[in-house]
Amino acid sequence: RNGDGRAVLRSSVREFLCSEAMHYLGIPTSRAASLVVSDDDVWRDQFYNGNIKKERGAIVLRLAKSWFRIGSLEILAHSGELDLQRRLLDFIIQEHFPSIAMNDSNRYLEFFSMVVSDTANLIALWMSVGFAHGVCNTDNFSLLSITIDYGPFGFMDSYDPNFVPNTSDDESRYKIGNQANVGLFNLSKLLQALKPLLDPRQKQLASQILEGYGEHYYIRFTELFKTKLGLLGENKDDNYLIAFLLKVSLLC
């Protein structure tokens, strides 16, 4: 798409506003510290319809505890740089996962378990506010399970599991109803990257942890929607009610 790596003013304003909104909605996210307008002209085909226009460029200063992503480990594993991958992973654990002991031989397994559960929680939170990220590849998924890389995101105006905010996503790969599945796919790629650092027993346990992702997500999703509906306690019909109301919303 002749990408030049530059941002335009309109998308920068959207990112600034949305990341702050997500923060105050209680959803883990990077934050925008400043927005600077650039003197450079940027040419963009906003709707990918061949109508290219000149726009004002801008730069957003984004803040986060870490910018390490699943792709940060994936690329090192792919290139066989296992020593560097181990050093990076130890650094990430030491800096951002204080509950994991650095002398624990299972530290990578514990790290993976936390990323799996935290990713499930993040995507459930996205779904609870109707947020579609737009480009959920491994390089846009934070290892700290925070929302990063705001681009062609969007919020649903009305419930539609097929909602796609990214006009270039012709196959609807990242439609809002597929975000949980994409999360599982990305975590499977993380596990694949970690496997060279795990022994056979740890690999088996890590696979079992990954299998539990769906349950983590489903439980958190249900909790969030029960809170929205003011449902107290446990009732076997709660899940049916949530599904029914979402279906009604789709038909309206």
**In the predicted structure, residue 23 carries a pLDDT above the cut 90:** yes
Note the pTM of the prediction, 2 decimals.
0.93
Which one-letter DSSP state was computed for residue 166?
-
Report yes or no: 59 and 38 within 8 Å, Cβ to Cβ.
Answer: yes
Contact between 129 and 103 under an 8 Å Cβ cutoff? The reply is: no
pLDDT(1) > 60? no
Query: Does pLDDT of 157 surpass 90?
Result: no
Q: If 0-12 CB within 10 Å is exposed, 13-18 middle and 19+ buried, where does residue 241 land? A: middle
With 0-12 CB in 10 A as exposed, 13-18 as middle and 19+ as buried, what is 14? Answer: middle
* pLDDT of 29 above 60: yes
Separation of alpha carbons 147 and 38, rounded Å = 25
CB-count exposure of residue 150 (10 Å: 0-12, 13-18, 19+): buried
* List of residues 6+ apart from 158 with CB closer than 8 A: 249, 252
Q: Is the pLDDT of residue 2 over 70?
A: no
Q: Is the pLDDT of residue 179 over 90?
A: yes
226-249: pLDDT as tens digits: 999 999 888 888 988 998 888 887
CA 55 to chain centre: 28
- pLDDT over 70 (residue 110): yes
Distance CA 143, CA 47 (A): 32
What residues are annotated to the active site?
A: 139
